[in-house]
């Protein structure tokens, strides 16, 4: 297994992480057309990261071709060219690189990336690549390895492989993931360039004689058309359940500003409900009182609106709800924001008597089926925006009249950590919906099949041959009807995320917030019931179908795709000799199969005939899902063994089908909490790495890829560091040997420092240094078949990680020996006191140990002393005009602190100007930033650590600008860089 004569790929040397991270983070703010808006999937990798990783796996590093790039300088220049192509430039906000969202549909940029892939493939075959874009695409599809992701989830990796022109294969055990990936990867290439078949478009085509659309735009047009047909047909059938709201005299009395609308009937956006329970206070005489987490309807400035509960002996249960709008005091607004809540959790107060209502009482009421719901307000479309109306009994009666003919089967998991409704008498999926919502969803779901028949008839009329079904590989009329039906059913799934009794009203934005704002189904006390026929959030045409149409219009598939519903641990693979790039399940994450049931029950109802092999089970399969969930396996030990065994089988299957000449990329959802005190790795991280190594891989590199951060922010003391670590792996050579702990440490201490130095020279952020150092450290550990401890037992991955962390600390500490003595004094003092004052005697003791005097450190401009106390001089108190050429005792400490100050006060140009004058102090200044960041991280000094992390992040830009502005000769007493 494995070979050692492969050429290094770019990902095994370096990638422009700053640009990739910036593009990944920016992606979160991109909505229209982004694949993530097709259908909710909870663990979707950013497209920018996937595209970059695939590019790095396929494109050779220049050092792999010494005959073409003979010097290190030529190799570095070529590497920088590839980095610029991939990541773009900082000046353009990294929007001009291959990984940028804008490049997703930019054929010029995509063709540039495809050419680089073709060039590496060709050179390895002893050929020269074609240059014409169509020929490049054909060459890649014929001769580049296929890409296979056996845990494809939301489809990001195969989609990006396809975008780069590669053959894309994906599989997943979860049928909802398979449905999403088919919709993104498998279906669009089949109908790329297809003209729409709906009558309107067909008539227009007959008149004009041509279709200007490209990619999946014809498919998008038909999804929009037949989606609108479904909406209109559904309104005929159940529109009476969604009456308009009249602006009554009572509404005007409560809000005089509504007087111009008196008597008008407005389209409802949402009906707002609060759950109710019987008050535990006997004085309330069994009245059912609201459990409202907030009474604010709008918190927008100048548009404040709220619900006012009013005691009324003539009203049901002795109270009614009124609506108010206008100015409101801060104290009153804070009170309204709390509703009837009393602290955290399921704790409320009785609106009638003020008596506390404890969670246990609510759970008991729920278990007896006595939790109800009461309408508290109606949100409608007004001429100038939202109008908030008081509840009307007629609207409650209409809602109660809904008679669903079907409801989803299946029970919610018995796991209160992520699924709390069962604790309150809502055990089944059907309990998550109101009767009216069930009627709406079943109606739209049934209409998917009817729409499919209309598409089929229209496709025949448009001249498409009958062909075979989509599930049988067809690409003509039958298959096209199946494809349109698939997207319409996904529209029903999207609607279900909003049309449920756990969707809430977002008072800050004036919209309906969908259920899955996090990876759980929580208990919601006041919920928002959307009107499918409005023109606002939660409607069918925009919220469900409109987003799907936008995604399809943005898809221009360049390569074919195949997605299958199979278990990666079973040994079945879709491709041989494949490039493996995958994001496997995270060790003890929530089971996505449990969450997916929410969507599966509706998709199955709509698509069971279209995709019989995908929707063959009543609910999503749970047994084989690779997560170490104690609630599913009985205890933590059994759960961990299940994960280890299953992941081991899956990775073993991967190594069997993976290409010899390309590295495998495996994403791991890393959080800082996974490194416990003193660098001990968590069970999940260690278990995962153990599985990777036992499968027969060696780890070449670890790349931290972050999706949430500003350019100079860090998250010391939080879990907000690298969102993912990409493990870059090769097959372990068959000649791998057994070694001892002592020999392993000897090689680690010889090789790791140089690798860490290269990471620093590449300006990897200090916040990512610990994760990045795992790569070269594990590369040493994993090259051996085993590393034996003194008792001949094999060393565990967890122990190896501890040793690697220790060597990293040692490396950073040893760098300190290269600093001048005054800086070494400052580092030790900083670690103990930061910038705080301490006794002169302590400073004198430390100075003596460092071979300097306190007065000498003071003369160096680092500390100040007086009154028997000493402190480091804070950055903002250092001389603003400091110049190393004018200082007879310039120090590394001053260099680092002044660089940060210049960066903060004057920006990159000012800092670069100083860097140009630092000469031989420049590199030690950067090394000191790493050292000081490490101290801040251990101590939890987040604000100070942010400064050092930020300096390193921008270092490449500073160095480039410094090189451009550096004067002809070196500064006095300095060496040229």
Quick one: DSSP state of residue 578? Answer: B
Torsion angle defined by CA atoms of residues 432, 436, 439 and 441, in that order, rounded to the nearest 10 degrees: -50
Local confidence band at 763 (pLDDT 50, 70, 90 cut-offs): low
SS3 labels along 450-514: HHHHHHHHHHHHCCCCCCCCHHHCCCCHHHHHHHHHHHHHHHHHHHHCCCCCCCEEECCCCEEEC
Looking at the fold, whether 172 and 23 belong to one and the same domain comes out as yes
pLDDT at 201: 86
pLDDT at 155 over 90: yes
What pLDDT is attached to residue 953?
Answer: 84
Regarding whether 953 and 920 lie in a shared domain, the answer is yes
Phi first, then psi, for residue 504 (nearest 5°) are -120, 165
C-alpha–C-alpha distance, residues 589 and 519, integer Å: 10
pLDDT category of residue 116 using cuts at 50, 70 and 90: very high
Report the predicted TM-score, pTM, of the whole model to 2 decimal places: 0.87
Asked if residue 193 and residue 182 are part of one domain, the reply reads no
Among 700, 718, 733, the domain boundary falls at: 733
Compute the average pLDDT of residues 914-941: 89
The pLDDT value given to residue 723: 60
For residue 809, what are its two tokens?
């600390």
Report H helices in 709-796: 741-761, 766-782
> What total number of domains does the chain contain?
4
Q: Tell me, yes or no, whether 951 lies in a domain.
A: yes
Among residues 676, 665, 829, the alpha carbon closest in space to that of 157 is found at 665
Asked whether the predicted pLDDT for residue 674 surpasses 60, the reply is no
Q: Is 228 exposed, middle or buried (0-12, 13-18, 19+ CB in 10 A)?
A: middle
In a domain, 345, yes or no: yes
Residues 486 and 549 in one domain: yes
Confidence (pLDDT) at 718 = 35
pLDDT range class, residue 377, cuts 50, 70, 90: very high
729, β-bridge pairs: 664, 699
CA–CA separation, 147 and 834 (whole Å): 51
* Same domain for 164 and 224: no
Instruction: Please tell me whether residues 128 and 179 are part of one structural domain.
Output: yes
- Looking at the structure, do residues 897 and 916 belong to the same domain, yes or no? yes
Which pLDDT belongs to residue 603?
A: 97
What is residue 123's predicted lDDT score, i.e. its pLDDT? 97
Range of the domain at 282: 249-391
- What does the block give as tokens for 657? 């089908």
- Tell me, yes or no, whether 306 and 350 share the same domain: yes
pLDDT digits (tens, 9 = 90+) for 511-565: 999 999 888 899 999 999 999 999 998 999 999 999 999 999 999 888 899 999 9
| pLDDT tens, residue by residue, 397-415 | 999 999 999 999 889 988 8
Checking if the pLDDT of 428 tops 80, the result is yes
d(CA 907, CA 191): 51
659 falls in which pLDDT band (50, 70, 90)?
Answer: very high
Does 675 score more than 50 pLDDT?
no
Which range among 11-20, 524-533, 926-935 has the greatest average pLDDT? 524-533
Q: Is the pLDDT of residue 572 over 90?
A: no
| Lowest mean per-residue pLDDT among 386-390, 677-681, 798-802, 929-933 | 677-681
- In this prediction, residue 960 has a pLDDT band, given cuts at 50, 70 and 90, of confident
pLDDT value at position 45?
86
Residue 642 lies in a domain: yes
pLDDT at 1: 46
Least confident stretch, 524-538, 695-709, 716-730: 716-730
Let me know whether 657 and 591 are in one domain: yes
Predicted pLDDT of residue 626: 86
Q: Do residues 169 and 83 both lie within one domain?
A: yes
In the predicted structure, residue 688 carries a pLDDT above the cut 90: no
- Residue 968: what pLDDT? 42
Average pLDDT estimate for 867-886? 91
Buried b (16+ CB within 10 A) or exposed e, 476-515: bbbbbbbbbbbbbbbbbbbbbbbbbbbbbbbbeebbbbbb
Residue range 168-192: mean pLDDT, rounded = 96
- Minimum mean pLDDT among 40-44, 287-291, 470-474, 922-926: which range? 40-44
d(CA 198, CA 462): 8
* Higher per-residue pLDDT: 479 or 626: 479
Residues of the chain with pLDDT > 70: what percent? 94
719 and 673 share one domain: yes
Q: Does residue 779 sit within a domain?
A: no
């Amino acid at each position: 297994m494995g070979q050692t004569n492969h050429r290094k790929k770019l990902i095994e040397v370096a990638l422009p992480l700053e640009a990739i991270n910036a593009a990944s983070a920016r992606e979160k703010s991109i909505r229209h057309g982004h694949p993530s808006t097709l259908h909710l999937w909870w663990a979707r990798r950013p497209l920018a990261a996937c595209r970059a990783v695939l590019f790095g796996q396929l494109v050779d590093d220049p050092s792999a071709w010494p005959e073409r790039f003979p010097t290190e300088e030529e190799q570095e220049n070529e590497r920088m060219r590839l980095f610029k192509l991939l990541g773009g430039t900082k000046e353009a906000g990294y929007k001009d690189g291959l990984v940028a969202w804008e490049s997703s549909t930019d054929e010029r940029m995509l063709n540039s990336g495809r050419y680089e892939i073709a060039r590496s493939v060709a050179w390895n075959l002893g050929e020269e690549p074609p240059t014409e874009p169509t020929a490049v695409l054909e060459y890649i599809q014929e001769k580049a390895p296929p890409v296979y992701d056996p845990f494809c989830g939301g489809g990001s990796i195969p989609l990006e492989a396809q975008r780069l022109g590669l053959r894309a294969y994906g599989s997943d055990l979860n049928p909802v993931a398979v449905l999403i990936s088919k919709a993104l990867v498998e279906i669009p290439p089949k109908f790329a360039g297809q003209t729409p078949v709906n009558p309107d478009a067909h008539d227009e085509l007959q008149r004009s004689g041509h279709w200007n659309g490209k990619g999946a735009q014809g498919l998008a047009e038909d999804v929009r058309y037949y989606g609108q047909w479904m909406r209109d047909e559904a309104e005929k059938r159940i529109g009476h359940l969604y009456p308009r709201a009249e602006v009554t005299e009572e509404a005007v009395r409560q809000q005089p500003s509504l007087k111009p609308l008196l008597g008008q009937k407005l389209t409802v956006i949402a009906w707002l409900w609060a759950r109710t329970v019987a008050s535990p206070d006997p004085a309330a005489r069994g009245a059912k009182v609201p459990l409202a987490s907030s009474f604010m309807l709008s918190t927008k400035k100048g548009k404040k609106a709220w619900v006012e509960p009013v005691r009324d002996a003539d009203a049901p249960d002795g109270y009614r709800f009124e609506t108010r709008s206008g100015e409101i005091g801060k104290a009153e607004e804070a009170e309204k924001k709390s509703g009837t809540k009393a602290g955290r959790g399921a704790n409320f107060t009785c609106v009638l008597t003020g008596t506390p209502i404890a969670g246990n009482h609510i759970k008991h009421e729920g278990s007896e089926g006595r939790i109800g719901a009461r309408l508290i307000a109606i949100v409608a479309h007004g001429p100038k925006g939202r109008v908030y109306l008081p509840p009307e009994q007629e609207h409650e009666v209409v809602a109660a009249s809904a008679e669903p003919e079907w409801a989803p089967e299946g029970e919610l998991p018995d796991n209160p950590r992520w699924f709390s409704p069962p604790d309150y008498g809502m055990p089944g999926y059907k309990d998550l919906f109101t009767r009216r919502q069930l009627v709406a969803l079943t109606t739209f779901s049934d209409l998917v099949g009817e729409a499919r028949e209309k598409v089929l008839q229209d496709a025949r009329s448009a001249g498409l041959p009958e062909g075979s079904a989509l599930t049988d590989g067809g690409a003509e009329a039958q298959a096209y009807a199946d494809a349109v039906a698939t997207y319409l059913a996904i529209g029903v799934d999207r609607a279900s995320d909003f049309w449920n009794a756990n969707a809430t009203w977002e008072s800050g934005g004036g919209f309906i917030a969908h259920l899955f704002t996090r990876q759980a189904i929580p208990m919601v006390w006041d919920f928002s019931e959307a009107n499918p026929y409005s023109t606002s959030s939660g409607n069918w045409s925009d919220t469900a179908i409109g987003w799907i149409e936008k995604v399809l219009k943005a898809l221009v598939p360049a390569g074919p795709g195949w997605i299958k519903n199979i278990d990666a641990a079973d040994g079945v693979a879709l491709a041989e000799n494949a490039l493996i790039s995958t994001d496997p399940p995270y060790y003890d994450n929530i089971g996505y199969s449990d969450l997916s049931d929410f969507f599966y029950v509706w998709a199955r109802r709509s698509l069971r005939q279209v995709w019989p092999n995908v929707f063959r089970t009543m609910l999503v399969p749970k047994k084989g899902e690779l997560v170490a969930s104690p609630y599913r396996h009985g205890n933590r030990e059994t759960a961990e063994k299940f994960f280890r065994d299953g992941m081991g089988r899956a990775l073993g299957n991967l190594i069997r089908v993976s290409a010899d000449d390309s590295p495998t990329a495996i994403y791991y959802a890393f959080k800082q909490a996974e490194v416990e005190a003193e660098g001990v790795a968590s069970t999940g991280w260690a278990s995962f790495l153990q599985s990777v190594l036992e499968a027969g891989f060696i780890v070449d590199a670890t790349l931290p890829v972050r999706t949430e951060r500003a350019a100079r922010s860090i998250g010391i003391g939080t879990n907000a560091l690298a969102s993912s670590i990409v493990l870059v792996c090769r097959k372990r050579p068959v000649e791998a040997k057994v070694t001892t702990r002592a020999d392993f440490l000897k090689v680690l201490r010889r090789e790791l420092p140089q690798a860490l130095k290269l990471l620093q020279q590449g300006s990897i952020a200090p916040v990512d240094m610990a994760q990045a150092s795992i790569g070269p450290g594990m590369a040493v550990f994993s090259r051996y078949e085993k590393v034996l401890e003194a008792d001949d037992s094999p060393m565990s991955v967890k122990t190896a990680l501890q040793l690697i962390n220790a060597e990293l600390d040692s490396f950073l500490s040893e760098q300190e020996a290269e600093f001048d003595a005054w800086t070494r004094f400052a580092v030790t003092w900083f670690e103990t006191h930061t910038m705080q004052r301490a006794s002169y005697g302590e400073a004198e003791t430390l100075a003596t140990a460092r071979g300097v005097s306190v007065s000498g450190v003071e003369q160096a401009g680092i500390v100040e002393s007086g009154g028997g106390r000493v402190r480091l001089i804070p950055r903002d108190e250092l001389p603003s005009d400091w110049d190393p050429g004018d200082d007879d005792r310039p120090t590394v400490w001053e260099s680092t602190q002044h660089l940060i100050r210049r960066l903060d006060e004057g920006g990159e140009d000012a800092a670069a100007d100083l860097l140009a004058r630092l000469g031989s102090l420049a590199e030690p200044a950067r090394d000191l930033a790493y050292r000081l960041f490490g101290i801040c991280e251990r101590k939890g000094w987040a604000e100070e650590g942010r400064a050092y992390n930020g300096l390193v992040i921008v270092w490449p830009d500073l160095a480039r600008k410094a090189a451009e502005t550096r004067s002809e000769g070196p500064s006095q007493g300095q060496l040229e860089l």
